[in-house]
Amino acid sequence: MGTTGLPTNLTQGSRTKGGIGESTLRPDGVLKVTGEFAYSSDMWHEDMLWGQILRSTVAHAEILSIDTAEALATPGVYAVMTYDDLPTEVKHYGLEIQDTPVLAHGKVRHHGEPVAIVAADHPETARRAAAKIKVEYRELPVITDEASATAPDAIHVHEGRTDHHIGHVAHPNIVHRQPIVRGDVAAARERADVIVEGEYVFGMQDQAFLGPESGLAVPAEDGGVDLYIATQWLHSDLRQIAPVLGLPEDKVRMTLAGVGGAFGGREDLSMQIHACLLALRTGKPVKIVYNRFESFFGHVHRHPAKLYYEHGATSDGKLTHLKARIVLDGGAYASASPAVVGNASSLGAGPYVIDDVDIEAIALYTNNPPCGAMRGFGAVQACFAYEAQMDKLAAKLGMDPVQLRQLNAMEQGTLLPTGQAVDSPAPVAELLRRVKAMPLPPEQQWLTAGEAPDVRQLPGGLSNTTHGEGVVRGIGYAVGIKNVGFSEGFDDYSTARVRMEVVGGEPVATVHTAMAEVGQGGITVHAQIARTELGVTQVTINPADTQVGSAGSTSASRQTYVTGGAVRNSCELVREKVLEIGRRKFGTYHPAWATAELLLEGGKVVTDAGEVLADLVDVLGDEAVEVEAEWRHRPTEPFDLRTGQGFGHVQYTFAAHRAVVEVDTELGLVKVIELACAQDVGKALNPLSVLGQIQGGTVQGLGIAVMEEIVVDPKTAKVRNPSFTDYLIPTILDTPTIPVDVLELADDHAPYGLRGVGEAPTLSSTPAVLAAIRDATGLDLNRTPVRPEHLTGTA
């Protein structure tokens, strides 16, 4: 299968048209590709003001003074606010640790930190006024790496920390530390015939989503505010916003606006509080839209990392032990760093059976840009390192790299280094077998029938840098493990409200959740679930807002699992109420009404044998049935802070990749020809969406392998490339063929047996590409992204 076809091995859909198992189209898909989709930045309101943020020009400095007089005197300016103008004693926010100031106070801790906000009647007026604000700084030494962060005389990025992590870290500039210790690594090391070591560097990646940060805050007559916002988690935003505004949560009403993408970058607040503050101060609607330059400063990024790994193995290839240390740079504020540390450490051994393990993961406070959630969430960085180690071991043992991985692959029942048993299918060896068995693309496909090279298929592409001289092919493999859902004791649940009634002579179901649709296709799946469970064709999806219970974050590959589970749960309860109405109205006329297994299909009540008992229109009549219900996955528990033992994750998902690359070894240029993937999805509720998630995650992993990196000056901690001119992301010309082989091995603990899909392919595509480049060049590449100078020896 190529990039546009669908796998032929997926299960068939339900008996209700448009139900689960069918490739129904996303309602926002055509609008987005044609440019007609209404993003949050397209919102408009009569008498609207425009907000602008003044950001710090230095990474670490005391604020000596802020002079706003000239900005306030600018015609068209309605308000200028600094930290001193905040209305309540609550002036900080954060996902877990409330360490992020709404506006900088006393000092700035990273380049681009918000210092002041302006509201004006035109965006250009707001920008000019912000530029007139005079801020006097006294620069301080910058903390940029582990050495400078943990030195005995290091400046504390956050003075006087009191959060709950401070008691188990060795230095206040360490956000969180999580060890994972099992067995006896020292003794196991003595049994190893072969030992390989590696030090790996993983670059800072940007989410690069469609649609920059934007929102519209509208003051309300009751003294509250209505916020229309592009986000990943409405209720988490609400929990952080309301205290700063000094309002009860029911007076901060939030509605999801059009989101183009997120990938973790919208989990943290950006302009939400600023827009609300300006709207309440001026009494007018205020819209804020970041430009792309601001966007690089306005959201968190993927943690850059340094990883130190040692693996041992016997002469026949069985792994004896793993010792690893993972250092994540969290930047100036905590964001999701503690949870990223938990993921990196607990998944740091990869999908392999290793009895003796000693892993330590930490996240640092530095003056670099804040880092937090991004697709793969700590497991990506670890996978890059442990897969490079597998290739090193295979080379040293003289083994096939796929065979080595299969020999040590975990399976259902495997005990993880955390002591948790994998209690659902773990087809790691089978995924590797499948991806290796896929046909390879033909050699030298850049040659046309007339033997003239097609430069579009060569490294360097249309830049016409090579005609095939010095081009070498390489093949590499990788496999990864990712958790699904929130972990470590977090109460992970979702809420769904489902209503069923007759509208225009037809039964209609309405689904209302707070799930943020960020491009993952959740609203499509919710409609499919409702059609399947309620047997109706017409399903309306209400806009997501805070007028219904929380759906949690659109992250951790959890929404289809958890919010899909809530929709299913609510639909089942609605169905029972509909059948109760039917039994009341028609039960005396047919004995089949007394049976428990009645189905709703095609707008009718039928028996399991297909006998029609009644039309749903007749059953419901003028009545409407509505249920709001929650759904929780199995409880997890925090990892022990000394040993890392604990039932920390609720589900695991696996993907394997084979990369085929062609490298111009003289010029250092790379062309990724193919990235074949095999993944277990448990159950494909929408095969087309599953394919899109796998291919999208694969390309995002490709990006960090060969081009994407936010470059931060190590001396000043300033971002050097905050725009898509200098921060490169893959385009369609960089995207290879991505054949996909999908397994559906049900997880009995999950709704419909499904697994989260979107993150796992991001893990293994990056190390597969690096493995292929190593195969082509023979170089020991240990960092992402790989640049031409790394391949030509000019770095």
Q: How far is CA 577 from CA 248, 619, 620, in A?
A: 35, 11, 10
Instruction: Indicate the SS3 state at residue 659.
Output: strand
* CB-CB contact of 481 with 350 (8 Å): yes
Q: At what angle do helices 760-777 and 687-706 cross, to 10 degrees?
A: 40
Residue 646 has pLDDT above 90, yes or no: yes
pLDDT exceeds cutoff 50 at 280: yes
Rounded Cα distance between 27 and 20, Å, is 16
SS3 273: helix
Measured at the CA of 375, the angle between CA 373 and CA 380, to 5 degrees, comes to 100
Q: Map tokens 């859909």 to a residue.
A: 13
Flag whether pLDDT at 14 surpasses 60: no
Which pair of tokens denotes residue 232? 């990943």
What is the distance between the alpha carbons of residues 705 and 476, in angstroms, rounded to a whole number? 13
- Look at residue 86 in the predicted model and tell me its pLDDT: 98
431: its two tokens: 């995924």
- What is the arithmetic mean of pLDDT over 727-749? 96
Q: Helix count (H) and strand count (E) of the chain?
A: 18, 29
Nearest to 755 by CA among 425, 265, 332, 266: 425
- In eight-state DSSP terms, residue 347 is T
Is 756:561 a contact under the CB 8 Å cutoff? yes
| pLDDT tops 50 at residue 651 | yes
Q: How far is CA 363 from the centre of its chain?
A: 18
Confidence (pLDDT) at 454? 82
Alpha helices in 101-162 (DSSP H): 123-131, 146-150
pLDDT for the residue numbered 1: 35
Quick one: pLDDT band at residue 44, thresholds 50, 70, 90? very high
Q: How confident is the model at residue 7 (pLDDT cuts 50, 70, 90)?
A: low
pLDDT-based confidence at residue 16 (cuts at 50, 70, 90): low
Percent pLDDT > 70 in the chain is 97
Please write the tens of the pLDDT for every residue from 429-446.
999 999 999 999 998 877
Measured CA to CA, the distance from residue 574 to residue 566 in angstroms comes to: 12
CA distance 640 to 363: 17
For 30-68, the DSSP string reads: HHHHHT----GGG---TT-EEEEEEE-SSSSEEEEEEE-
Q: List Cβ neighbours of 537 (8 Å cut-off, separation of 6 or more).
A: 16, 17, 18, 506, 531, 602, 603
Domains of the chain: 29-37+493-632 (3.30.365.10), 40-140+212-259+266-298 (3.90.1170.50), 146-206+303-372 (3.30.365.10), 423-484+651-792 (3.30.365.10)
How is 469-522 classified by DSSP, letter by letter? Answer: TTEEEEEEEEEEEEEES--TT---EEEEEEEEEEETTEEEEEEE-----SSS-H
Distance from C-alpha of 695 to C-alpha of 793, rounded to nearest angstrom: 32
Walk across the sheet containing 506-512 and list its strands: 538-541, 506-512, 493-503, 625-632
pLDDT at residue 451 is higher than 80: no
Q: What are 623-627's contacts with CB under 8 Å, separation 24+? A: 623/501, 623/581, 624/499, 624/500, 624/501, 625/499, 625/500, 625/501, 625/574, 625/577, 625/578, 625/581, 626/497, 626/498, 626/499, 626/500, 626/574, 627/497, 627/498, 627/499, 627/570, 627/573, 627/574, 627/577
- For 400, half-sphere exposure in the C-beta direction (CA atoms, 13 angstrom radius) is 7
Give the Å distances, CA to CA, from 30 to 26, 33, 210, 554: 8, 5, 15, 22
Whether the Cβ atoms of residue 420 and residue 647 lie closer than 8 Å to each other: yes
For 551-607, the pLDDT digits (tens) are: 999 999 999 999 999 999 999 999 999 999 999 999 877 889 988 789 999 999 999
Distance, in Å, from the CA atom of 738 to the CA atom of 674, rounded to the nearest integer, reads 6
Report the range out of 5-14, 22-31, 372-381, 609-618 with the highest average pLDDT.
372-381
119 and 285 Cβ atoms separated by less than 8 Å: no
Q: What is the mean pLDDT of the chain?
A: 95
Compare 13 and 306 and report the one with higher pLDDT.
306
* pLDDT exceeds cutoff 70 at 449: no
Does the pLDDT at position 629 exceed 60? yes
How far is 288 from 175, CA to CA, in rounded Å?
Answer: 31
Measured distance CA(660)–CA(667) in Å, rounded: 18
Q: How far is CA 396 from the centre of its chain?
A: 35
Alpha carbon distance 454, 458 (integer Å): 7
**Looking at residue 13, what is its pLDDT?**
45
Quickly state the pLDDT bin for 3 (edges 50, 70, 90): very low
Helix (H, G, I), strand (E, B) or coil at 758: coil
Q: Is the dihedral of CA 558, 275, 300, 295 positive or negative?
A: positive
**Is the pLDDT at 754 greater than 60, yes or no?**
yes
The closest of 749, 687, 587, 729 to 209, measured between CA atoms, is 729
Residue 630: both structure tokens together: 């929650």
| pLDDT tops 80 at residue 218 | yes
Closest by Cα among 412, 415, 434, 414 to 424 = 412
Mean pLDDT of 48-64: 98
Report how far residue 591's alpha carbon sits from residue 576's, in angstroms, rounded to the nearest whole number: 17
pLDDT of res. 6: 54
Spatial distance between the Cα atoms of 126 and 119, rounded to a whole number of angstroms: 6
Sequence-ordered alpha helix ranges (H) in 260-304: 272-282, 292-298
Question: Is pLDDT at 795 greater than 80 in this prediction?
Answer: no
Average pLDDT over residues 162-166: 95
Distance CA 217, CA 274 (A): 9
**What stretches of 185-336 show up as alpha helix (H) in DSSP?**
185-191, 234-245, 272-282, 292-298
Q: For residue 127, with 0-12 CB atoms within 10 Å meaning exposed, 13-18 middle and 19 or more buried, which class applies?
A: middle
Q: What is the pairing mode between strands 252-256 and 286-289? A: unpaired
Rounded distance, CA 286 to CA 122, Å? 11
What mean pLDDT do residues 412-427 have? 97
Range in 13-27, 140-154, 391-405, 713-727 with the lowest mean pLDDT: 13-27
Q: If 0-12 CB within 10 Å is exposed, 13-18 middle and 19+ buried, where does residue 753 land? A: middle
Residue 241's identity, in one-letter code, is I
> Quick one: angle between helices 234-245 and 272-282, nearest 10?
40
Using an 8 Å Cβ cutoff, are 259 and 518 in contact?
Answer: yes
Average pLDDT over residues 403-429: 98
The 10 Å Cβ neighbour count of residue 368 is 30
The pLDDT of residue 10:
53
CA trace torsion 27, 29, 33, 39 (10° rounding): 70
pLDDT at 168: 95
Average pLDDT over residues 508-533: 97
> Residue 4 has what pLDDT?
39
- What is the model's pTM? 0.96
Nearest-angstrom CA–CA distance, 742 and 750 = 18
- Amino acid, res. 345: S
Cβ–Cβ contacts within 10 Å for residue 149, how many?
Answer: 24
